[in-house]
Structure 1
Amino acid sequence: MTFKEILDTLPSVAHLAALEILDGDTVTGRLDNQPGQAGSVRVYHALYQEFGALDAVAADKGLRLYAEHTADAVANPGKHPNIDRLLVLAEGGQALAVRLIAA
């Protein structure tokens, strides 16, 4: 399946304005539910719903959800920061929390 096809299977995020990534109490990332980031909001929200946090297991699934974009991120570090974050987590990086920001 392509990334677009996978996105169509994920839960809606219409109720969210944004999603924040936290390392302890520190916000290390923010994904706004707007064009250009809405797909990542859906992926991260789905991971949060299934796993409750972002750890190596959640990251591994997230990399599969990003489909063809994961290979592009590996080939071009920095081009896809939301995938880069999952790559670090999949390699055993520190687990991160998620905070949902309602619309």
Structure 2
Amino acid sequence: MAFADNLKQLPAVSHLAALQLLDAVGNVVATIENKPGQSGALAVYAALAARHGSINVAAAQEGLDLFAEHTAHARAHPGSHPNIDRLLAVMASGEGFSVKLQAC
């Protein structure tokens, strides 16, 4: 299924301003904002956190599936999709992130 179709099946994120990813010691390593160009990734990451409790290996694999055609592009062009690159890094390292949601 295409990314756009996958997005339609995810919970709405209109109530979120952003999502922060925290490393093992609690440092913010990334912020995904609810704005054009990031709202799809916000929806994916928020859904993954709700299902898995964090962005762990299982969540990363599901996220790569949800990003669909963008995952193949990210693998072929590292750096072009940082939110997918991050999931690939979780898969490679086994080190995930905790998630902090920021409401509007």
Q: In the alignment, what sits opposite 2:41?
A: 40
Per-residue deviation, 1:93: 3.2
After TM superposition, the structure 1 = structure 2 runs for residues 43-62 of structure 1, keeping only pairs within 5 Å, are: 43-62=44-63
Q: In the alignment, what sits opposite 1:82?
A: 83
- Poorly superposed stretches of 4+, deviation over 4 Å: none
Q: In the alignment, what sits opposite 1:7?
A: 7
Which letter maps to 1:28?
Answer: V
Q: Secondary structure of the residue that 1:11 maps to in structure 2?
A: coil
Q: Give the distance between the partners of 1:26 and 1:92, measured in 2 at CA.
A: 18
Q: In the alignment, what sits opposite 1:95?
A: 96
Q: Give the distance between the partners of 1:29 and 1:73, measured in 2 at CA.
A: 18
Where in structure 2 are there 5+ consecutive unaligned residues?
A: none
Q: Give the distance between the partners of 1:58 and 1:91, measured in 2 at CA.
A: 13
1:25-62 C-alpha deviation (Å, 9 max, x unpaired): 10000000010000000000000000000111110000
Where in structure 1 are there 5+ consecutive unaligned residues?
A: none
Q: Secondary structure of the residue that 2:93 maps to in structure 1?
A: coil
Q: Give the distance between the partners of 2:63 and 2:91, measured in 1 at CA.
A: 9
Per-residue deviation, 1:91: 1.8
Which letter maps to 2:20?
Answer: E
Root-mean-square deviation (CA, aligned residues, Å) is 0.7
Aligned residues: 103
Q: In the alignment, what sits opposite 1:22?
A: 22
Q: Secondary structure of the residue that 1:78 maps to in structure 2?
A: coil
Q: Secondary structure of the residue that 1:36 maps to in structure 2?
A: coil
